[in-house]
Structure 1
Amino acid sequence: MGSSLKTAQFLIDSRLNDAACGNVQACLDLGMVYSSGAQGQAVDLIEAHKWFNLAALKGDERAQECRAEIAEEMSAQEIALAQKQARAWLQMTSARAA
């Protein structure tokens, strides 16, 4: 069990690194993980919305659909928080690239 948790965390960390490099698929994958509770993660619609939003900003249509779908289950405050977190991620990763 401990080994599978380590593997799951490695996969999440790998996707985070790829997302930081601008990989749209990594953002979509992270949105899927947090919206479904995969890879040992708890369902977190705010985090999922953030990742779907980041992928959607890069033109991913599937991410746009997923973002809209989970937004139906979220309050306006939760969506605003997810958008704020997405902006913070963009600022952080653009600062790293500079």
Structure 2
Amino acid sequence: MGNSIKSAEFLMEARLSRAAYGSADDCFDLGVAYSCGTGDLPIDLVEAHKWFNLAALRGSEQGQSMRAEIAEEMTAREIAEAQRQARAVIAASQLRAA
């Protein structure tokens, strides 16, 4: 059991690192993971919205669709927080690229 948790944590860390600076697909995969509670993650709609938003900004139509779908289950405050977090990821990736 301990090894599977460590494996899941390693997988999520790798996805987080790639998604912050990577493809729409990586962002979308994280959105799915947080929206469904995949890999021992708790369901977190703010995190899911953030990653779907980043996927959408990188051209993912699925990201746009899923972002809209989970937004229906969120408060305005939660959506605002998810958007703030997405902007922070974008700013951090631009600093890193510079």
In structure 1, the gaps of 5 or more residues are none
Partner of 1:21: 21
Q: Which amino acid aligns with 2:77?
A: Q
Normalized per residue, the structure richer in helix is 2
Q: Which runs of 4+ in 1 moved over 6 A?
A: none
Partner of 2:80: 80
Measure the CA separation in 1 of the matches of 2:33 and 2:66.
12
Secondary structure at 2:53's aligned position in 1?
helix
Measure the CA separation in 1 of the matches of 2:75 and 2:64.
18
Offset at 1:21? 2.6
Aligned length: 98
For residues 51-70 of structure 1, what are the structure 2 equivalents within 5 Å?
Answer: 51-70=51-70
Offset at 1:23? 1.6
TM score, norm. by length of structure 1: 0.96
Measure the CA separation in 2 of the matches of 1:81 and 1:21.
20
Secondary structure at 2:43's aligned position in 1?
coil
Q: Which amino acid aligns with 2:33?
A: V
Partner of 1:35: 35
Deviations 1:2-28 (A, max 9, x none): 111111111111111211332211100
Aligned-residue RMSD, C-alpha: 0.8
Secondary structure at 1:59's aligned position in 2?
coil
TM score, norm. by length of structure 2: 0.96
Tell whether the 8 Å contact from 2:15 to 2:26 is kept in structure 1 after alignment. yes
Deviations 1:21-77 (A, max 9, x none): 322111001000000000100000000000000000111001111101100000011
